[in-house]
Amino acid sequence: MATLDKKIKLYLEANSKVYSNELNNYALQNDGSGDYILSWNVDGLAKPSDSQLNSYETAGNKEAKNDSIRNTRKAAYGDIGEQLDEIYKDIDAWKARIKKIKDDNPKE
């Protein structure tokens, strides 16, 4: 099940708004029965209804899965300094290693 935050991210992006945790243009709360929008301060965009947010369930699940895959890939790639050293020493070996990581962790 896609998180409310993920659905809001997709809703904002679909309506040409920038999603950023630093903007603090909305707040979520959970009183024990699930997350809900406590406050909404997005300029020029109405607070989404439950049905609008629910329409992003499938896309939200896909985005969450791809986030997990990105994190797995990032950990497998290793430190950028080490990668640059590997490229300098043997770019073909680096390409093969990165291709294997991507093949082993495909995005949807």
**For the segment 30-81, what is each residue's pLDDT rounded down to a tens digit?**
999 999 999 999 989 999 999 999 999 999 999 999 999 999 999 999 999 9
**For the segment 76-89, what is each residue's pLDDT rounded down to a tens digit?**
999 999 999 999 99
Alpha helices (H) along 15-56: 50-54
Number of domains in the chain: 1
Report the C-alpha gap between 75 and 29 in whole angstroms.
Answer: 31
Domain membership of residue 33 as a residue range? 4-104
Cα–Cα distance list, 20 to 7, 43, 87, 108 (Å): 13, 14, 33, 24
